Each structure stands twice: as structure tokens, then as C-alpha cells.
Amino acid sequence: MSTETYTDTRADTRSQGPLAGYLVVDLSRALAGPHATMMLADLGARVIKVETPGTGDDTRGWGPPFVGPADDPQSTYFLSCNRNKESIALDLKSDDGREVLGELLLRADVVVENFRPGVLDRLGFSPEAMHALNPALVILSITGFGHDGPESSRSGYDQILQGEAGLMSLTGSGPDDPQRVGVPIADLLSGMYGAFGLLAALLERERTGRGQVVRTSLLAALVGVHAFQGTRTTVAGEVPEAQGNHHPSIAPYGLFPCRGGSVQISIGSEKLWAAFAGEFGLDAARAEWATNAHRVRNRAGLKTAIADAFARFDAATLLQKLADAGIPAGKVRSLDEVYKWDQVLSQGLLIDVEHEVLGRISLPGPPLRFFGPADTVETTNTTHSAPPVLDQHGPDIRRWLNRSLEGIAR
């Protein structure tokens, strides 16, 4: 943790969170790096986002939708990944910008960047240069294809990586219908892996006193979540293909039609299969359905039999019948339904913040909660600040740097 005492320049100062007192300099833009730093900010770290003067983070221009006044529109994309941060605009090609960044790095615990390999080096902020300035600094670097290797220089964008890393070949209605995941999953996962890695590096720093470089990539993150589809390829020698809304290794497990709608079921054990079959008049011991392996091999006939059984029920009635029988089931909700759902609200997954331009807005909330000993008292940080407008905190940060200059050992 930085030894420098600072005053948090955010309007909503916070004392809670496991990372309270840590300072993160966020040099990233778009989504992978900003998602990682937002996770750290949610945990109580002070995150200072360094942006390009005039335009800021690329995502400030990504839309529609934009919200707010016509002369100052705000991108909802930017709002999705920058809560609980401060913003300072710095031209890193200028002497002033490099000097201010150097002062920030001197005080920081963590720096996060997702430039293409070599860009920061040319600006004078290679890992070696940053560690010469601050040996305790933990540096997280996120790239598209990895920082080395024969294709390291390629630009990494989420959908391109979803295709290159095989995820699209697994997603869609069938082998001839590759589909991207409905959110930028490569960006999000690389941010999550990155945050995980730098927290491990901070723990190691507690023992050694020295920082290190943590590297991940969109490619690595997607290969890292191949899960059973990966070992299906590397061990069993099979090449998985997309097969729509049904599990490739478990049956029945997926989305099934009913009267006027559809429901999802997950039958993950033979006990559940027996209960499900008995509830809907299916022969659990039928030869082609007797075990999960049989049901997977004979999926087409099983799907037809289940669709016939479900056709008598509307979705609400069917879901209640499944619940009464102890069968894991659910419906497919639209996002507006999700954010009105009592269960989502009970988990703190919707938060209200006061935005500099937009006023009071609601944002998707942090996915982690924390509790004290014996799970008795919740210690989750519940005070949040809105994503900043460009350079919103720049003057305050510069004043803080000037005030604390003499307190930094050089």
C-alpha cells in the first residue's frame, strides 16, 4: 500500500472496502482495462483514470445510446465501466503530461494499461522505467493476443478474439451459425483475470516489498474459459460445435418450448432425471434414456418428447410445476425485467449515483459482497460515485500532487 497519505478527491469519499488506501493509476481505455480498474474501485481502491485531453476514453464516443443534454451527450457504454473513478486529462506526449504521470506513478500501488505492445515504452514508461521510479509498483498489462509471440502486434478487439479463440464456433444455433456472445466477453474476462492477477501480485508484495508485471490478454482469457470444451478437444480429440441452447454433455439441459413461450431446465443427475420423468409421464428407464450418456446420444428424440409434454402448460404454470417437483428451471428475462427483479435488487446489483451532468442515475452494481466474522455483519462498501466527466478531478489531483510533493521520498 502506498505510504503517502492523501485526501480522496471524489465527492463521495469511502472508507470501506478491502482495498481502501490503495492507489490505482488507470491508463487503460475501452473495456478490458477499465473493467479491471472498476473492480478495484468497487473494492475501495482510489482509481485515477488518465484520459486523452479533448476526447477522453474511446468509449465516451461509443453510441448511441447517448443520454443527457444535446450539447454534452454522455455515452451509456462509458457509464458501464467507470464508476467510482476520478478523471484527469493528460497529454502523455507533452512534458507536462509525462511529469504529472510520473508523480502519480511515484505514489501508486498499481498501474493498469492496455496499449498495444511497445506504445508505453516509446512514451518513456516501459515497465523498467516505471519500476525504476517505483519498485513496489504492480503493473497490469492487457493486450489482444499477448505481449509476445508471432502475432503479438495484432490489434485486439473483442469480436475478432471471440472468433480467433474459438468461442464463436461454440456459440449459435448450429455449426453453420457462429454467433458472438451478447456482451464483450473477451474484454470482460481479460479484465477479471487481470484484476485477479494483480491482487495476487499485491499479496506477494506484502512478502517481498517489490512489485512486478502481470500480463494477460483477450486471447488468454477466452482460452482460459474453454473449460470442458477445451479438454474435450485436447484429451478426447473431439472438435466441439455450436448446438444452440442445449448442453453438449448433459441431457436434458437447455431451453424447451411450452404453450406460448419457453422455459429452461437443468437435469444434472440421475435422481433429478427420475423425478422429472415421473412428473411429466416419461419412462425414466427407457433404454435410450437410461443414463445421461444415453440421453445425450439420443437427444433429438428426448427433446421432442419433452416438448410434447410441455405443450400442455403455459410458462408460468410450468415453472411452478417444475419448482414443486424440485427441478431446477427458469425463464429467459429481458434486461428491463432483470433490473426490476426483487432478487437482483436484494443483492445490491442496482445502485444510484449522482452524475455531474445527468444528475441521479441508476447503474448495474458490483457483484461482490463482504461480511464480517461468522457472516453476521455486512461490510460491503455501499457508497459509490458516478463515472466521471472528462478531467472532472484534474485540478484537484494536480493540487494534491503539489501539496504532497515534499512528502514523497525521492
pLDDT tens per residue, range 347-363: 999 999 999 999 999 99
Same domain, 38 and 166: yes
Question: How far apart (Å, rounded) are the C-alpha atoms in residues 301 and 297?
Answer: 10
Cβ atoms of residues 289 and 283 within 8 Å: yes
Domain boundary among 299, 330, 361: 330
Task: Determine which one of 72, 187, 283, 391 is catalytic.
Answer: 187
Cis ω for the linkage preceding 34 (within 30 of 0): no
In a domain, 336, yes or no: no
Q: Is residue 337 part of a domain?
A: no
Judgement on whether residues 66 and 174 belong to the same structural domain of the protein: yes
Q: How confident is the model at residue 13 (pLDDT cuts 50, 70, 90)?
A: very low
Judge if 311 and 357 occupy the same domain.
no
Positive or negative, the CA dihedral 71, 157, 186, 249 is positive
Question: Is position 140 within any domain?
Answer: yes
Is 33 domain-assigned? Answer: yes
Boundary (domain end) residue, out of 306, 330, 354: 330
Looking at the structure, do residues 106 and 209 belong to the same domain, yes or no?
Answer: yes
Q: Is 166 a domain residue?
A: yes
pLDDT at 8 over 90: no
| Number of neighbouring beta carbons within 10 Å of residue 386 | 27
C-alpha cell at 215: 500480463
pLDDT at 287: 96
In this prediction, residue 406 carries a pLDDT of 52
**How many domains is the chain partitioned into structurally?**
2
- Let me know if residue 232 belongs to a domain: no
pTM: 0.91
Q: Give pLDDT tens digits for 103-134.
A: 999 999 999 999 988 899 999 999 999 999 99
| Alpha-carbon span 226 to 236, nearest angstrom | 14
Q: What is the mean pLDDT of residues 304-314?
A: 97
For residue 359, tell me if it sits in a domain: yes
180 and 203: one domain?
Answer: yes
Average pLDDT over the chain reads 93
Residue 187 a catalytic site member:
yes
Per-residue model confidence (pLDDT) at position 398 = 96
| Contact indicator for 107, 187 with CB cutoff of 8 Å | no
Euclidean distance between CA atoms 365 and 345, whole angstroms = 9
Is residue 238 domain-resident? Answer: no
Residue 296: pLDDT band with limits 50, 70, 90:
very high
Check whether residue 126 and residue 272 sit in a common domain.
no
Q: Give the end of a domain, one of 330, 361, 391.
A: 330
pLDDT in tens, 141-174: 999 999 999 999 999 999 999 999 999 999 999 9
Per-residue pLDDT at 376 exceeds 50: yes
Q: Say yes or no to pLDDT of 409 above 80.
A: no
User: Mapping DSSP to helix (H, G, I), strand (E, B) and coil, where does residue 16 land?
Assistant: coil
Q: In terms of C-beta density within 10 A (0-12 exposed, 13-18 middle, 19 or more buried), how is residue 20 classed?
A: middle
CATH number at residue 269: 3.30.1540.10
**Domain range spanning residue 314?**
253-330
The confidence score (pLDDT) of residue 45 equals 96
| Percent residues over pLDDT 70 in the chain | 95
- Taking 3-state DSSP, the helix, strand and coil percentages for the chain, each rounded to the nearest 5, stand at 40, 15, 45
Are residues 130 and 57 part of one domain?
A: yes
Mean pLDDT value across residues 379-405: 92
Q: Which of 14-28, 75-89, 219-233 has the least mean pLDDT?
A: 14-28
CA dihedral 143, 144, 147, 150 (to 10 degrees): -170
